[in-house]
Each structure stands twice: as structure tokens, then as C-alpha cells.
Structure 1
Amino acid sequence: MNCRHCKTPLTHSFANLHHQPISNAFLTKKQLEEPEVYYPLHVYVCEACFLVQVAEYKKSDDIFTDDYVYFSSMSSSWVEHARQYVAMMLERFDLDVHSFIVEIASNDGYLLQHCVERGIPCLGVEPAGNTAQVAKRKGISCVQDFFGTALAERLVKEGKKADVLLGNNVLAHVPDINNFVRGMKILLADNGVVTMEFPHLMELVANNQFDTIYQEHYSYLSFSTVCHIFETQGLRIFDVEQLPTHGGSLRIFATHTENSWHKTRPSVSRLYQVEKQANMHNIAYYTGFQQQIQTTKKALLYFLLEQKKNGKKVAAYGAAAKGNTFLNACGIKSDLIDFCVDKAPSKQGMYMPGSHIPVYDPTYLRQEKPDVVLILPWNIAEEIKTEHSYLKDWNGVFVTAIPELRIFTVETSP
């Protein structure tokens, strides 16, 4: 197996979460009686370019189907994040009704709806049919396809060039990252700007975020590696911001290498040096992560076993991909967690892959009054705790397990 960027043979293991089902492949009750397909979830690191990556055991067009269950608008904090982004970009780059914005992996229109409200022409690229249809109902033009050089060339032939080309949490999702980045160069206008947001590998390691490893994430990205990938495809990163989203993300700003309009800012060399000082340019940095996974797994299992021993009712909140990865990595089934709740109607009435834990509407918490609620999407834990502060009515507590096991009463902040 070779690196998906530089083709160097992969020999160094980063994390092995063993065999798992697809993280968003929810099951009906009938399907519980049928065989469930598992795929290896083993992550390697390239010793040449330090791209951390999982082998493409599951094809992307089998993951992002018309039954794809992730809808970005289910998180109010994420929608607000998108609104603030649009406002910032309009001001920083003087965008107006004559500009053209393209979002790759536009999902249900959580971001482009803010462009439509301001009268900015825009286009969404979204492979999953169900989320694309929701965006279209919001008045957003969408192309239902995977992004790459072929689609970029087609759009250019149609007279489309992007003044802003953005993608939030998509760069890690593409199996052919070289083709994807090359496609962005093709579609980008001469003085255009690319922005990409993605979880920062340094935060993943520092905060033990192994639950963000799943088949939909083909790559786990450091800033240095992304700079190198962009450079090889004719794009130059001229600015970078560190964000708190998803446990610690980066927002990069890029343009054509030959473009002198957007000057490279000190933030680029500064973050490059931070990664270098953290030893991310050395293969030794990537060893030892497997032991962190084992420590977290054992702590949660001991905690859940103790709760069950004491007759407590345990629920989970958020049937997100990271939660499914986490539960399956820990070997947790419905005997340790009674049920899960989630806002997404597409998940309600279904069963979580692997663990087979049933999923209900969040109102089920009031009905069942669990003693413990394990928050699986820890990155929006504050939002969840605020919305469901009524757990105090029966002395229920919230728990998070990443980066370590923590127990919160409703009144306690992390």
C-alpha cells in the first residue's frame, strides 16, 4: 500500500481501530437479523510527507449515497459558525452581487443559505442526493457530484470560475487528494481565494481524538503536509487561522502560486514552526498514539460497567460518526448503553452500526430519565448540556470520554 499523495510505501502504523462498520451505515430493525459488513480501520503515516491516512477499503461513492444521514444544519452552533464565516469573507475580500462562491460538500445548504440571503451568486457541490435536495429547497443551486478535475473542467466550460472556493470538513474526506486539490486550481478565478477547514492533526494527537478516525476520513492533516500538497498542485497558502471547531481545526486561505495579489502572512511560517517544534516532521511523533486509545477505552468501560453494576440507566447523546467509531473501538453494545438520542429524523427509529443501540428523538430523555448521558459529539458538549439542562430534575449527569473521562452535573462547566 502506497501513500495517496506521494506514493511512498506505507510501513508505519499510527492507529489501529480494527474492523468496523461504516460509521453512518445505520440499521433498521429488520437489518439487525442480517449480516453486517465490517472494514479494517487501520491508519498509517507516510514517512516521506507525513500524511496520516487510512486505506480506501470502502469506496467514497458507497459512503456518500442518497441515504447519507449527516445534515449540517442539525447543529445550531455550526450554522452560526457558517454565518460568521460568510460575513467575514464578504468584508475581507469585498465580495458582492458580482462575485461567485462555490462550496464543495455543501450538504444541506447550512452555509450557502447565508450567501443567498445576501444576494451573492453561489453554487453547491454535493454528492449525497438527500442533503442536496434540502439545499435546493432553500433556493441554492446544486450540482450533485463528487468534486475533482473532471467536474472542475466541466464547470469552467460552462463559464463558471470561483472567486471564493470553499470546503468545510471535506479535504479529509477525499480518497484522491491530489486530484481534488488540482480541481480547485482549475476552478479558481485568477485572483480567487480557496478556504478549507479541517481538523488539525496536532489537536487529534494532543487531545486523544481517535473517534474522528473513520472510513469517511481518508486523511488526517497537519498544516505542513497540506502546504506541501497544495504546492505540488500549483496553489499557495497565504494565511491560516486556528479554530476551536471540531476539537481544534485549521482554516487555510490559498490562491494560485503565481498570484502576487494575496501576500503570504506571518501566520503561515509561524504555524509551520509550531509543528516543527512539536516534532511533527519526525516519524517518532506518530508512535505511541495506540496506547492513548487503550487508556481511554479502559477508563470508559470500567465506568459503564460500574454504572450497570449499580443499576443505573445509561443513555448516549448524538449518533454522529465519531460516536459510532468510538463505541465500536471500545466494544460497547446495547447492554452497556440503553439507548441514544439524536436530533436528526433520518437516524431516529434506526440502530447504530456495530453497537446496535436504538436511536430516538431527544424528547426520549425526559421520558426515560437516564442517570447518565454520555455525550458522543464532545465538540458540541456545551450546546447539548445547555439544551438539556433539565437533567437536573432527576439528578442526571453528563459524561464525556474525550480526551479523558469527565463527569459533569448540569451546573458544572468543563
Structure 2
Amino acid sequence: MRSYQQAQDIVRGDLEMTVCADCGFVFNAAFDPGLLNYGDSYDNNQGCSSSFQSHLNALISLLIDKKGVRGKQVVEVGCGQGQFLQRLVQEGGNSGVGFDPSYAGPPSLLDGRMSFESRYYDESCTSVPADVVICRHVIEHVPDPVMLLKSVRAAIGERTSAKVYFETPCVEWILRNGVIWDFFYEHCSLFTAASLSSAFQMGGFRVDEVRHVFGGQYLWIEASPVASDVKLNGGETYALATGYAEHELTLLQDWKQRVLALATDGRVALWGAGAKGVTFANLIDPDCELIDCLVDLNPNKQGKYVAGSGHAIVDPLQLKERGVSDVVLMNPNYRDENREILKQAGMSLNMIE
């Protein structure tokens, strides 16, 4: 947000995280899509991080080199501004069509090899041929994920040789690691490998592979538009979720005490002003009394304020001048990258996980 007051006045919603004992699907039973506003101030770009770029590089290599996505017609559902699709087109000799209601760029790029539709991809898109359909970090934002999958299946039509690839957060990683700041409003639908497979089977797909990527935090699924039996296996997730729920309040109180102790001896910052950092700030320090700021590599966030709590978002090079002595790392995947940034800047800070 552009000002502290705007941040404080943000619309809020409730989380009532619920687990299905049959299939293991985790969802927000209090979700109201009318409260969401993916406007100009919504920025989930992680591409400023070299660590995240390495993850994207691995996905591109997987698709092109191991899955043979070369010379194909690629459709990306929820393409954003098309950066990932553009790499697939350029590096794999593919052509591509990106679908996203929020897309705001030119209608085509790369001499027409890429085009964009500022709308949803659904059964009305059967005329758009697709050898490969990719959808990254969309399904967790959708309150009825099976309906989304059925729409994708209908759009593919009779092209049963097509391949479908989705990426989404892994709720098992959240539950096993007690990451209380990884439940937030935009993510109303969360999956384990088993429940994601069940959803795809319900949507009319055969699941070919599910793998954990990005240090186990994300799931990557490959599926084919061929009907298969639906298998439900939610027992383990139900046990994980109930175990997490029993300890959630204790986890929250422990983190509040840790941050309070750090703030007593010096200034504290959070590293990461994405969803994890925003959620942590609002859970632990909603009144901006303990945490000095959040640091983020995304220049579009620097100089602005965290939605809800109103903490300032700064460049990492500002930590020294702000007198910050301790930094709480929101995501361990960025540990080495962040330490190198501090080292190059000649800063020695205590990094807490």
C-alpha cells in the first residue's frame, strides 16, 4: 500500500481453515471472493530473487529438456504478464497463448508466436489448440478447484494427447513444519499430493506424476486428459491438520515471545514482504510495536507499506541505517541468497528462522 493509513484500512476477511477427512482437501470455509481485489497494488512477483529464478530455470529445463516441450502449441492459464510463457516460447521453439483477465500488455509478441487473451480459459476456448497446458499458482486461489479443472478439460476437447502441468503450494509442508504464516486469505484451496491427484481425477484427468519442488514447498503435477478412477486418501492429511491445530496457538505465542525478546535488545526486521511476511507481520505485530520493517528485493514494494499492519517495506541496503540487528527469515529457501546480499553490503546481522 502507498501509505500507512491505506495499509491500516485494507479490507479484511476471516480464515476458517477446514480439512476434508475423505480426500484431504484443505480450504477456507469462510472464504468470500467478493472481498478480494487483485488491483494495481497487488504484486506477487518473486522474480527479483536469484533463488526463485533458479526454481523457474529448473521448471523450464524440466519442460523443454525432459518433457519434450519443443515445437509445441502452449497455453498458459493465469499467465500474469507472460514472463514464464515467453521463456518457454523462446527457449523451446514453441508458440503460445496466455490467458489472464489481468493481462495488460500488447496482444502479441515475438512476431506473433505469442498472443494473449485478457479472459479466463474455459470451455469456450476449444478453438485454441493446445499441445501443452500450464497453470502455475492459480488453483489455490479458486474456491471450486474441480470446476476449474473440468473447464480446462473441456477446453482441451478431443486432443487427448495434450499434457497438463500445474504448480501449487503443498499444504503438507505447511502443516509438518508448523508454518503458521503460510495460511492467508488469497489461498482458499490447498492440497497435498494425494488431494491434488483426487481433484484432477474428479476433473477428468489421469495423473501421470506428482513431484515436490522448491524445497518441498510446491507441488508439480503432470496429467493427461483421459478419464481415470477417483481415489480418495485423506486420512494422513486429516491427522496432520488436527495435530497442527492443537499446537497452532502455542506456535503463535512462541513466535510473539521470540520477537518481543529480540525487540527488547535491538531492532527487528522481517525478510520477505510477500504473503508469508505480510501474514507474519499481521499475526505477530499488528500495531507496529515490535518489528521495525520488512525488507524485500522487489523495487515495486520498497517505499510502500504492508497491507494491514502498515510496516514499512525497505531495500536490504537500508537495514544498516535503520539500526536493524536481527532479521527473521520468512522463507528458508532464500537463506543463502540473503546472507550473500548482506555479506556483499558489509552487514553482519543475526538471521533467525
Aligned counterparts, 1:325-364, within 5 A: 325-364=279-318
TM-score by length of 1: 0.75
> Quick check: 1:280 aligned with 2:236?
yes
SS of the residue aligned with 2:236?
Answer: coil
- Structure 2 regions of 5+ residues with no counterpart? none
In structure 2, relative to structure 1, the CA distance for the partners of 1:45 and 1:258 (3 Å cut) is closer
Residue equivalent to 1:169: 137
* 1:46-68 Cα distance to aligned partner (Å, 9 max, x none): 23333110035342783323432
Following TM superposition, by how much is the alpha carbon of 1:144 offset from its aligned partner in structure 2, in angstroms? Answer: 2.4
Indicate whether 1:252 and 2:221 are aligned: yes
Q: Percent identity between the aligned chains?
A: 24
- Provide the aligned C-alpha RMSD in A: 2.9
For 1:292, what is the secondary structure of its paired residue? helix
Q: Aligned residue for 1:184?
A: 152
Which amino acid is the alignment partner of residue 255 of structure 2? L
Q: State the alpha-carbon separation in 1 of the partners of residues 26 and 295 from structure 2.
A: 32
Alignment of 1:216-295 (within 5 A): 216-245=186-215, 247-258=216-227, 279-280=235-236, 283-295=238-250
Partner of 1:379: 333
Q: Give the Å deviation of 1:225.
A: 1.8
The one-letter amino acid of 2:236's match is M
Aligned to 1:408: none
For residue 53 of structure 1, what is the amino acid of its counterpart? F
Partner of 1:75: 49
Aligned length: 347
1:128 matched residue in structure 2: 102
Q: How far did 1:193 drift?
A: 0.7
Match of 2:350 in 1: 397
Offset of residue 289 of structure 1: 1.3
Match in the other structure for 2:77: 104
Deviates most, 57-66 or 234-243: 57-66
1:138-217 → structure 2 map (5 Å cutoff): 140-145=114-119, 147=120, 151-156=121-126, 159-188=127-156, 189-217=159-187
Could you report, residue by residue, the CA deviation over 1:190-239 in whole angstroms, capped at 9, with x for unpaired residues? 20111112222222211112322111101110222222222222111011
Distance 1:385 1:113, change over 3 A: farther
1:12 is aligned to none
Kindly state the Cα deviation for residue 394 of structure 1 after the two structures are TM-superposed: 5.2
Change (3 A) 1:115 1:135: farther
Q: Distance in 2 between matches of 1:135 and 1:287?
A: 48
Q: Which amino acid letter does the alignment assign opposite residue 398 of structure 1?
A: M
Q: Which runs of 5+ in 1 are unaligned?
A: 1-25, 401-414
Distance 1:306 1:67 in 2: 33
Query: Larger deviation: 171-180 or 250-259?
Result: 250-259
Distance 1:121 1:331 in 2: 47
Letter aligned with residue 226 of structure 2: T
Whole-angstrom CA distance in 2 between matches of 1:134 and 1:73? 21
> Partner residue of 2:262?
307
**How big is the shift at 1:178?**
1.8
Q: Post-superposition shift, 1:307?
A: 2.4
Q: Tell me how far 1:370 sits from its aligned partner.
A: 1.4
Rounded to whole Å, the distance in 1 between the matches of 2:96 and 2:250 is 46
Considering Cα pairs closer than 8 Å and 6+ residues apart, tell me whether 1 or 2 has the greater RCO. 2
- Contact 2:164–2:222, Cα closer than 8 Å, also in 1: yes
Does the alignment pair 1:368 with 2:322? yes
Distance between the aligned counterparts of 1:385 and 1:52, measured in 2?
34
TM-score when normalising by structure 2: 0.87
Q: Is the CA contact 2:77–2:99 (under 8 Å) kept in the aligned structure 1?
A: yes
Aligned to 1:320: 274
Distance 1:322 1:300, change over 3 A: same
CA distance in 2, matches of 1:288, 1:395: 38
Say which SS state the counterpart of residue 287 (structure 1) adopts: helix
